[in-house]
Amino acid sequence: MYTHYIKIKRLLIALLIVLPGLLAAQGIKITSGGNLVANGAAKLVIMNAGFTNNGTFTPDLSSVIFSGNGSTSSSFIAGSTSTTFTNLVLNKSANGFQLNQHIGVSGVVDLQSGDSIFLNAFNIDLGSTGSLTGETNALHITGQSGGYIQIVNTLNAPSSVNPGNLGFTISSASNLGSTVIKRGHQNHGPSVYQYFDITPTNNSGLNATVKFAYFQPEINSIPEIDLALFGSTDGGNVWSLESGSTVNIGSDFVQASTVSQMGLFTLANANASLALKFIYFKAIAADAKNVLYWATATESRNDYFIIERSIDGTHFLPIGHVEAAGNSNNIRNYSFTDAASLSGMVFYRLKCVDIDNKANYSIVVKLGLNTINKSIHIYPNPASDYVSIEFTAESAGKAEIQILSIAGVKVLSKQVDCVKGVNIISVPISSLANGTYKVQVPGKLVRGATFIKN
């Protein structure tokens, strides 16, 4: 069916229900050279299945609706062709759907029922006309593995404007001009699992009042009463507490006044500091021991790390101490070996203590003993200046880290001396064009991985 040109015509409302196995094993699949055209306000209902576009999809005024109660991974959007929807709806009785490719939405992303829409390291572009509706604490767009949702609006003397209903409200007597607003769901050190990246044409003397709406499940164990707005104008290297930052617990937002510049914004504990920026924090099982690896991009007045362990993910006890660099604008790598004999799942976190004895906590990582890592891991992802590439080598020796375009063309490489076991290699990528790239290490028994350069 999907190898031909298909039109879904509008009588009053055309309704197409796609059940697994009815049209294709993966729901709707448009093959290369194929076309799916929706006329008018057609509704394409996909139950516990996916939408894969390797051809051409013309949405007109249609709505693509994900329904059912199957697992989130069984409901997806994928394909090799850039796809733009008019309206995209989540209406499942349980679970959600995930992205397996970047998409655009020119109308409404409507969250009616179910769990959440998971970005899964991919992006939703609302253009200049799209918007969100229906988000709640229990039902919203999220994605701690990466990805963002974006809109572009012209903001001239905005008054309580919330572009795309993404949750960042701006008031200013100034003309910001064409402004890009991105929302992502990764944390920046000891922050909530949410950030906004605001890039206006005019970015000086704004004297703006802003509101940052947050979701309860993503406040990362920070006492809600202590939430405050932090801003960065250098991509997250240095953070400052925004003036007049106050939290409204009843309405789940933090407001700040007299914001002079837009940039990167997140929420963190008003009594703590975001001066320490993690690149990664990982736990690896090796030779019956658990080894922790972490790196910082920047440190300011950082004194030491306390390594804490838990067997239930809730109650942590200190097991070690590592001195910190203090002040640094360079990448600093750290490690710690837990030699205790343990069984089952264990959890680790870092308590980061500065010279004033203020403490922040890292994310929590978990590890099942005797886990063997056969994959390449890349972080941060998406990335702009550099990526850290982690893999486990079965033997020492020389290796070539290769970065390839999505078409398989090698665009960058780095020769390294590998050790037996875990290797973490930092590779500059600022020279690469924005897009998706694959990393591979020929000659090592590890699976390749992809990352996004933005």
Weakest-pLDDT range from 69-73, 170-174, 392-396: 392-396
| From 65-74, 324-333, 343-352, 438-447, the region with the lowest mean pLDDT | 438-447
Q: What is the pLDDT of residues 300-314, one digit of tens each?
A: 778 899 999 887 777
Of 19 and 147, more confident: 147
Q: How far is CA 107 from the centre of its chain?
A: 23
Provide the terminal-to-terminal Cα distance of the chain, rounded to the nearest Å. 37
Nearest in space to 198 (alpha carbons), one of 139, 148, 137: 148
Percentage of the chain lying above the pLDDT 70 cut: 87
Give the pLDDT score at 8.
46
- Contact yes or no for 91/113 (Cβ under 8 A): yes
**Which residues have C-beta within 8 Å of that of residue 133, sequence separation ≥ 6?**
108, 109, 110, 111, 165
Backbone angles phi and psi of 283, in degrees to 5: -120, 130
Q: Which residues pair with 298 in a beta bridge?
A: 277
Taking only Cα atoms into account, the Rg of the chain, rounded to an integer number of angstroms, comes to 23
Q: Name 420's bridge partners.
A: none
Cβ–Cβ under 8 Å, residues 200 and 179 = yes
- In angstroms, what CA-CA distances link 69 with 50, 76, 349? 13, 13, 34
Sheet containing 435-440, strands listed edge to edge, beginning at the edge strand earlier in sequence: 410-418, 397-405, 435-440, 449-453
| Residue 281, pLDDT above cutoff 90 | no
Nearest to 320 by CA among 292, 343, 301: 292
CA distance 241 to 75: 40
Q: Is 427 helix (H, G, I), strand (E, B) or coil?
A: strand
Contacts of 165 (CB under 8 A, 6+ apart): 131, 132, 133, 135
Alpha-carbon span 54 to 14, nearest angstrom: 23
Q: CA-CA distance, 25 to 221, in Å (whole number)?
A: 41
Residue type, 304: Y
d(CA 104, CA 310): 42
State pLDDT tens for residues 137-176: 999 999 998 999 999 999 999 999 999 999 999 999 999 9
Beta bridge partner(s), residue 259? 208
Between CA 157 and CA 146 the distance in angstroms is: 32
Q: How far is CA 204 from CA 171, 177, 193, 263, 315, in A?
A: 14, 12, 28, 11, 46
C-beta atoms surrounding 300 within 10 Å: 19
Q: What is the tens place of the pLDDT at every residue in 328-373?
A: 777 888 999 887 756 667 888 888 888 877 777 777 788 765 444 5
Q: pLDDT tens, 212-258?
A: 999 999 999 899 998 999 888 877 766 777 877 899 999 999 999 98
Tokens found for residue 55: 């051809």
Return the C-alpha torsion angle 331, 279, 166, 222, nearest 10.
-110
Tell me which residue of 322, 335, 299, 364 sits closest to 424, measured CA to CA.
335
Closest CA to 53 of 19, 77, 20, 69: 77
Q: What pLDDT is stored for residue 12 in this prediction?
A: 31
- Note if the pTM is more than 0.85: no
Cβ atoms of 231 and 260 closer than 8 Å: no
Rounded Cα–Cα distance for residues 344 and 366 (Å): 10
Can you read off the two tokens belonging to residue 123? 């992006």
> Nearest 5°: CA angle at 78, between 73 and 80?
155
CA distance 246 to 266: 13
In contact, 95 and 114? CB cutoff 8 Å: yes
